[in-house]
Amino acid sequence: MNIEDKLIFPRMEKSKQNHLKEKIFEIIFEADTPLGKLFDVMLLITILFSVALVMLESVPSINAKYHTILVVLEWVVTILFTIEYALRLYCVRKPWRYFFSFYGIIDLLSILPTYLGIMYPSTKYLSSIRILRLFRIFRIFGLTQFMRGGSMLLIALRQSRAKIIVFLSFIILIVVVIGSIMFVVESEHPESGFTSIPTSIYWAVVTLTTVGYGDIAPSTALGKFLASVVMIIGYGVIAVPTGIVSSELSRSKTPEPPKNTQVCPHCHDSYHLDKAVFCKTCGTKLNS
């Protein structure tokens, strides 16, 4: 909040309770104050650290060697996240709204697997959910001015949405038809891997997108010829999405970056104007 704002809109009287709540809200949800920035940096490091833990745990050799250390560190991180989750629930005005929001669910899914692991033996499937913590990074960056480039990309993508849908439909259609043709052509040669239409469609996707694993490859002359046609189509068709995005980006102008990191305590809407006192979406008074 700018100094001028403070002069124009003097802080109203509040109970100490509310003041604490507001303070925590400002630290956790916003990035204007030094403490808010410090919190974001610490959170970012913890998230990256916890994601690294989940990855290391999944490597059999490392898990066998350092199992105890990994479990202890995992608990430390989980408890930190639990405290943060509790504070978030405490300081927002409408806890239920946060609880059922996208980030609320991500936050819960980040800590739940470790607690469930006490009751039920921790399985691979459960612990991998914690990788979703990575999505929490977006919340941090969403508050800073880093996203200017990204928002421009998103605008370009949104404006060419119709063209992208048509393009994807075309790709799906071509892949289904080619997959079926190749299934018929190569069905006499089971060793080439075209065992069913879905598998052949999978091959068509692998080929059209120029990935080319080689686990399924045509063995007949006709199959190879058709595959060559598919490849050249794929090689040429890649030009279409590129052309779409290029021309969209050439047209678009850089939008003004959001300079304000305030978040509405009621509806969690961000991107307010610098001198905004009330939320532009729900009209709630913003924290100064």
Q: Which of residues 127-166 bind a second copy (CB under 8 A)?
A: 128, 131-132, 134-135, 137-138, 141, 146-150, 152-153, 156, 160, 162-166
Of the candidate residues 20, 38, 79, 177, the single one contacting a second copy (CB under 8 A): 177
14-53 binders of a second copy (CB under 8 A):
51
Of the candidate residues 58, 97, 255, 274, the single one contacting a second copy (CB under 8 A): 58
Number of residues in contact with a second copy, rule: CB under 8 A? 86
- Give min distance, CB of 119 to a second copy, in A: 20
Q: Which is nearer to a second copy, 9 or 142 (CB)?
A: 142
Of the candidate residues 38, 41, 59, 83, the single one contacting a second copy (CB under 8 A): 59
187-206 binders of a second copy (CB under 8 A):
187, 195-199, 201-202, 205-206
Of the candidate residues 245, 267, 276, 277, the single one contacting a second copy (CB under 8 A): 245
Alpha carbon 175 to chain centroid distance? 28
Please name the amino acid found at residue 165: I
Q: What is the CA radius of gyration of the chain?
A: 26
The answer to whether residues 99 and 89 touch, using CB atoms and an 8 Å cutoff, is yes
Does residue 228 belong to the site contacting a second copy (CB under 8 A)? Answer: yes
Longest dimension (CA), the chain: 84
Q: Is 169 exposed, middle or buried (0-12, 13-18, 19+ CB in 10 A)?
A: exposed
- Which residue stretches of 100-194 are H helix? 102-119, 124-128, 136-142, 148-159, 161-186
Q: Which is nearer to a second copy, 67 or 280 (CB)?
A: 67
Q: List the one residue out of 17, 35, 262, 240 whose CA is nearest residue 142.
A: 262
